[in-house]
Chains A and B, each alone.
Chain A
């Protein structure tokens, strides 16, 4: 696996693909945050604060994984 293809290591190519995938995932995490806000505005059941916190935590986790993929 350490063979160089056109001067590029296969791990670099995998890293680029992984970084791109996790970058796209950040958008999904943003959609989740927006959706939680929309849902909690539509229906207030008393779980608003913990759900918003969880959605933000998920977004933060996705950014951390993206940065890890970028600098791995």
Chain B
């Protein structure tokens, strides 16, 4: 099943190569594979157009993660059902007891609420992201449109990365949860239902190894 939300540009077979140790090389988008301009990708490797609030000048985004779109499927189906519900009124005129102006108002109100729900769902999905840069791990969360939480931790402070995948749907669509333990103030980062958790863990491992090498060689900035 083709996954339209996963960036297909570039050669995926080169992923192993791209994830290999890059001794003495700075990561740059030009060296990254899977880079592209798919703005709605849930696994966006080396995105070109991403820019976040407190990004440093020499900080490069390596990976942008969103929840796998399959987790939105129940809500998408509910919204499609809500959008189609007024069509049922043509066959079963259950609002016929209302004056015609109130019937129109009911349908307009229904579509207004449907639009609001769809917009809220999309915004929550598109802006709840996890970002891996060459320096930090950043978790941006927006809860129910009124609460925002941004946490970050330096790559060097990552102590442990655990990922888990389980169940039929997660295995079929290749997504799972990643837990990152750090020595910073925010001790735990949880990226839930992200695509390709094994590859994310590998990228993190390589970033940590690269930082470790830089530290050993005294190249730390």
Q: Does B127 contact A68, Cβ atoms closer than 8 Å?
A: no
Separation of A41 and B150 alpha carbons in the complex (Å): 13
- A3 contacts chain B at the CB level, 8 A cutoff: no
Inter-chain contact A41/B39, CB cutoff 8 Å:
no
Which of B64, B109, B119, B129 interacts with A22 by CB under 8 Å? B109
CB of B35 to closest CB in A, whole Å = 14
CB-contact partner of A32 in B51, B52, B104, B119, under 8 A: B119
Residue of A nearest to B100 (CB): A72
- Out of B50, B105, B113, B148, which one reaches A38, CB within 8 Å? B148
Tell me if A24 is interfacial: C-beta within 8 Å of chain B: no
Instruction: Mark interface residues in B96-129 (1 if CB within 8 Å of A CB, else 0).
Output: 0101011011001100110110011001001101
Please report the total number of B residues contacting A with Cβ < 8 Å: 33
Q: How many residues of A contact B (CB 8 A)?
A: 33
A18-B109, A62-B112 as given contacts; A45 in contact with B49, CB under 8 Å: yes
20 additional contacts, CB 8 Å, given A39-B123, A43-B129, A44-B50? A11-B99, A21-B109, A22-B109, A22-B112, A25-B116, A31-B146, A32-B119, A32-B123, A35-B145, A42-B127, A42-B148, A43-B51, A43-B53, A43-B140, A45-B64, A46-B39, A47-B126, A65-B109, A65-B112, A72-B105
Q: List 25 A-B contacts (CB under 8 A).
A: A1-B97, A18-B105, A21-B109, A22-B109, A22-B112, A25-B113, A31-B146, A32-B123, A35-B123, A35-B145, A38-B148, A42-B52, A42-B127, A42-B140, A43-B52, A43-B53, A43-B140, A44-B52, A45-B39, A46-B37, A61-B115, A65-B109, A69-B105, A72-B101, A72-B104
